Amino acid sequence: MSSEIQSDLRADVAQLFVVRASGHALDNQRNYPAWELTNKELQTLLGQGVGGVLLLGGTSTELFHRCRTLRQWAANPLLLCADVEEGMGQRFHGGTWLVPPMALARLHTSDPEEAKILAERYGRCTGYQARSCGLNWILAPVCDVNTNPDNPVINVRAWGQDPETVSALASAFHQGLSLEGVLSCAKHFPGHGATGVDSHLDLPILDQNIHELEDCELIPFRSAIAAGVSSVMTGHLLFPNIDPDNPTTTSRELITNLLRQKLGFEGLIVTDALVMKAITQIYGSGEAAVMAFDAGVDLILMPKEPGIAIEALTEALLSGQVPMQRLDEALERRRNALATLETSSSPQNERFFINRSFELERSEDQALSEDLVRSTLEIHQLKPIQPAQKGLNFLRIDGVFPCTILSNSAPAISLPEKVGYRTVISHPMGVNPWQDDTSSPLALDRLGDGPLILQLFIRGNPFRGKRDCQEPWQAVLQQLQREQRLAGLVVYGSPYIWEQLLKVLDSSIPAVYSPGQMPEAQKQALSSLLEPVQDPESSQHVMINEFTN
């Protein structure tokens, strides 16, 4: 075979790869230089035909200009994607930040129609803003059923804890994205909801057999496929009762036999990021890409060394190790997916930045963000928190570098300060607030005197392992109540923690739960606790929540 044909083949293969880049323009702005390619590497790879870029970091303005630059560098039409599961504001400053999907699952039990309408608006808001910034592929909805409350990585990212709720809401979200002309992605096939292990850190091993998957995990994927989801992402998950040798991402049994044939999915199948430890601890860069492709995926996401992976797959096709027909099929699916964008009736939303109009966030987006927080707040007690001469506002957060949920002017800090509560923050790099006493675990002498508002930002987030489950918040609550120090409680994020705490919470303590952690959630949660409700008629959100609680 001539080297020209080989070079054409390599360019075709390259189209199936999605590499990772920072959303910032400059190399020295990259937050994760180990994972994010340099501009020189990007320009070279895109010039050689690489067909997709996963973007993370940067503001929405930067993202818009970044996408334009990447398109200029590319030989082919690009798939430009991001892990945006909770509104563009979750990842790109300036976009709208929405409560996590699990919030709507709770609403779905009381008002399924309203929850579905909100899930579709959620998808439209995300799709409109993603498209406005230049993205054309959103790596959502999460279709996992969060059956394990201690799941360290899915948790509130899931649209529910039972397959019917997840099916209904994930499909409504997909529908919203689709109406805005953006590709969607159902993940993480065949289901990451039962794991107690984070696949960023290790390979989860799950004991379900195929019948058990059919009865639970596969239901939302079937539903998303029926609704026309554009792509499905494979999880790095080992099911020994189905394929004892290969995690899903490299399992022909799970990808080709189950997803492609039995479930009849005709769209794009994409791997989860191949740089995750679940994969890199087993395979090299080239090996992982070849095995995943041979097992039946179409697109390879974030291989550790893209050049080596492209080369290895090219070789595997040339040698006949992988049939050439697989390449043609994958390329055709990619073309088809891009073609749906071009024929989509949705407008080209890039006009936003071109016209330099004021805001990416439309008034309807802001209203959605507020509605979602309001309709998913749960208020335990309407007695307001009392102003204090010298009170403590004790916040627990996952980390400070960075901390996207807080700033000096964040409501979680500024609102308690207005009524006399000084902020003290507990985070993994901070001075230890714990003492060696299981019934009084919080070292109160390190925090100071006075009534204390406890605000817990805790939800299960990637890369944290089991850290969050180990903090004894139930015992802290009992300690604070025993010492008559607890002025109020706010839980942001995990409904499981909230429910645990409710079991020991004294009925006289003002307390509120929001699934969201962003400033809007802080504002509404604290306002509901700090402002005396003088006229219930005029306080709509409290009324709604008395009703839904």
Catalytic annotation, residues:
200, 272
Minimum CB–partner distance for residue 68 and its own copies (Å): 9
Minimum CB–partner distance for residue 222 and its own copies (Å): 39
Q: How far apart are CA 126 and CA 203, in angstroms?
A: 31
Q: How far apart are CA 310 and CA 49, in angstroms?
A: 10
- Residue 269 has, within 13 A of its CA and on its CB side, a CA count of 32
Compare residues 78 and 295 and give the one whose CB is closer to its own copies.
Answer: 78
Instruction: Report which of 529, 516, 528 is spatially closest to residue 404, judged by C-alpha positions.
Output: 516
How many other CB atoms are there within 10 angstroms of residue 185's CB atom? 27
Q: What is the dihedral of CA 7, 55, 466, 108, to 10 degrees?
A: -120
Compare residues 210 and 424 and give the one whose CB is closer to its own copies.
Answer: 424
Grouping H, G, I as helix, E, B as strand and the rest as coil, residue 116 is helix
DSSP E strand stretches across 76-184: 79-82, 137-138
Minimum CB–partner distance for residue 66 and its own copies (Å): 8
Grouping H, G, I as helix, E, B as strand and the rest as coil, residue 76 is coil
Compare residues 163 and 416 and give the one whose CB is closer to its own copies.
Answer: 416
β-bridge pairing 511-514 and 486-493: parallel
Minimum CB–partner distance for residue 175 and its own copies (Å): 27
Helices within 76-111 (DSSP H only): 102-110
Compare residues 133 and 224 and give the one whose CB is closer to its own copies.
Answer: 133
DSSP E strand stretches across 286-413: 300-301, 378-379, 391-396
What Cα–Cα distance (Å) separates residue 407 from each residue in 415, 518, 522?
A: 13, 11, 12
Minimum CB–partner distance for residue 205 and its own copies (Å): 29
Compare residues 218 and 406 and give the one whose CB is closer to its own copies.
Answer: 406
Q: Which residue has the tokens 């059919």?
A: 214
Q: In what order do the strands lie in the sheet with 231-234?
A: 185-189, 231-234, 268-271
Name the strand (E) or helix (H) holding 63. Answer: helix 60-73
Minimum CB–partner distance for residue 18 and its own copies (Å): 22
Contact indicator for 57, 27 with CB cutoff of 8 Å: no
Minimum CB–partner distance for residue 455 and its own copies (Å): 13
Compare residues 293 and 352 and give the one whose CB is closer to its own copies.
Answer: 352
Contact indicator for 66, 74 with CB cutoff of 8 Å: no
Could you list the residues that contact its own copies (CB under 8 A)?
24-29, 31-33, 39-40, 58-62, 65, 69, 72, 93-94, 356, 358-361, 399-403, 406-410, 413, 423-427, 429-433, 443, 446-448
Q: How far apart are CA 417 and CA 391, in angstroms?
A: 9
What Cα–Cα distance (Å) separates residue 452 from each residue in 201, 338, 385, 417, 480?
A: 36, 54, 10, 12, 8
User: Dihedrals φ, ψ of 391, to 5°?
Assistant: -105, 170
Minimum CB–partner distance for residue 353 and its own copies (Å): 8
Compare residues 24 and 121 and give the one whose CB is closer to its own copies.
Answer: 24
Compare residues 426 and 539 and give the one whose CB is closer to its own copies.
Answer: 426
